[in-house]
Amino acid sequence: MNLNDLLQRLQLVLLYSLLLVCALTGTAIANAATSPTIGGMLPEEALSAGERMYREGILPSGKPMLAFVQGDIPVKGSMFSCESCHLRSGLGSAEGTRIVFPVNAAKLYIPLRHGADIPITPTRDNLSAAFKPGEIRPAYSDESLAQAIWSGQSPTGEMLDETMPRYMLDEAEMAIMVYYLKHLSATFSPGVTDSEIHLATVITEGVPEAKREAVLKTLTAYLKVKNSQNRPQTKRAKRGPWYRQQRFTSYRHLILSVWELTGPAETWQQQLEDFYAADPVFALIGGLSSGKWEPIHNFCEANRLPNIFPLTEQPVVNDQDWYTLYFSKGPFQEGEAAAKFLRGTGIKSTAEKVVQLYQDNPASKRLAAGFSETWKNLGQPEPINLLINADVPLDKAYLQTLTDRYPGASYLVWLDASNFGFINQLAAAEQTGKLIASVPLLGEQVYRLAESARSKAYFTHPERLSENRKLRETVVKKWLQVHKVPIIDMDIQSKVYFIGWMLSGGLKMLSNEYYQDYFLDSLDMMNDEYFSITNYPRVSFGQGQRYAVKGCYIVQLDQSIPPKLVPKSNWVIQ
């Protein structure tokens, strides 16, 4: 360690010691309590600043928070934000043998007991002391909370786990952090009563009636089954043993509303606001759109309303938003897989041209965008992008011009089934290198590919391969038959079946903590699903991950009769 590093370490330790003295005297919080502002900010500003400190580890000044872990190892708060362990809701988490306790308002300011915060009932009072849950710690006060954040000392005087960072905050910053924690998950979210949870699903105008019925009939049946299981639990909640009261009182009757959006997409935001004002719901589940999902996505972000697995081919693709959990990135993800596969084959784009053909429609443009962005991230130059408008004749003359201009090029051909003849000819041309197209865009036409083109032609396939899918579909079909739901659209109904499965698991994990952020936190912590999902080989979860299906096959046609699609890559394209 050089002299500058040593001086910096000594300065940090000195600052740590001074702040510890402040914590023990309680001056920072005491002064803040008598001030009309919090840390020099108005209450709303303080909540916003505290939220950024908690979630991102960024101070109101814009600088990273500073902390120590393992005693004297300095780290930036952006590396060890509060949210990374205590989750966005503040309800805590568990990883291996590490248990992270809640830090939300409803938990911090009450004593923590073994057996959680189950209400003290007369039955429980009559128990002998040996059977009464002991107190782990008393309720926090503002001062003892500041002391814990500064020094890692609990209200009992014991030291918290050394992996818990000790944050170097000044008095104003600490006042803001404590103020935020006092408001974090303090009251239950909208849409929840003592006996009910209100949910909604969104259906937009233009959705075919058959698909609409497939969603609503399957979802309604699943909720009916779920509600039938809640009745005995409601009875047990009234007279069950005290140590199970928290579990039994968590059951609620599920109420589903259908929010039908009509007219131009520009009007959907106001329609959603009106629906939500008249019927506040805990979450949106499923949903089906004939076009883009972005207006509904933006509404959920603005209102911090969870939206679980909407059925859309146009999901919003970014890494910033949080409240919508999609199955996948849709066509964009196929483009990503194509880029990773093509790069993995050893192509050197400085020597070989990469040409991308796409149409002026949402799916084609998203495929092209996914490929271009990923190709660039892989350190490759921009591909040659050719937009195929309706007035471009995809005939032999165009094919000859294309292959003459780019001899030996590899092609990404994001064209639909109406252009399959051209794709077939391009794949079979001697001057063509590898060619990748999309199974969802081509549909059954893909099986008509000429034998002479099969060695060079590849396809993105974003779902489970058909021969492995039939057994999973059998389970869903049996469930539909048992519950007297007609089989209308297996692709949609299989996804809705999975949505019901996830909803049941997510609500169960909430126990009796009905906070919308915690609902998403709970889904993030669920195990990967292999057996309850028909459409995909695997659905994976992780903290803050908003696309649960993370893979895509690259497939080719074999030489059998009739031909079959065989994988040429693993499900997850690395």
User: What band does 49 get if pLDDT is binned at 50, 70 and 90?
Assistant: very high
Token pair 């909720």 is found at: 223
> What band does 16 get if pLDDT is binned at 50, 70 and 90?
very low
For the stretch 542-570, pLDDT in tens is 989 999 999 999 999 998 888 999 999 99
443 band by pLDDT with thresholds 50, 70 and 90: very high
On average, the pLDDT of the chain sits at: 87
What's the topology of domain 331-461+555-567? Rossmann fold (3.40.50)
Provide mean pLDDT across the span 238-244. Answer: 52
Contact present, 403 and 424 (Cβ < 8 Å): no
Check for a shared fold between 196-328+470-524 and 331-461+555-567. Answer: yes
pLDDT for residue 13 = 42
Average pLDDT over residues 361-389: 95
Residue 145 in this model has a pLDDT that exceeds 70: yes
CA distances from 245 to 92, 108, 132, 227, 514 (A): 21, 21, 14, 19, 16
Task: Say which amino acid occupies 360.
Answer: D
Superfamily of domain 196-328+470-524: Response regulator (3.40.50.2300)
Secondary structure (3-state) at 153: strand
Q: Is the pLDDT of residue 229 over 90?
A: no
For the chain, give every domain's residue range.
Answer: 3-183, 196-328+470-524, 331-461+555-567
Q: CA–CA distance from 132 to each of 123, 241, 329, 404, 496 (Å)?
A: 11, 13, 50, 84, 44
Average pLDDT on 488-492 reads 96
Q: What is the mean pLDDT of residues 319-325?
A: 94
Is the pTM above the cut of 0.85? yes
Strand-pair partners of 529: 539
Read off the tokens for 114.
């073994």
Half-sphere exposure of 325 (CA within 13 A, CB side): 30
Q: Are 281 and 257 spatial neighbours (Cβ–Cβ below 8 Å)?
A: yes
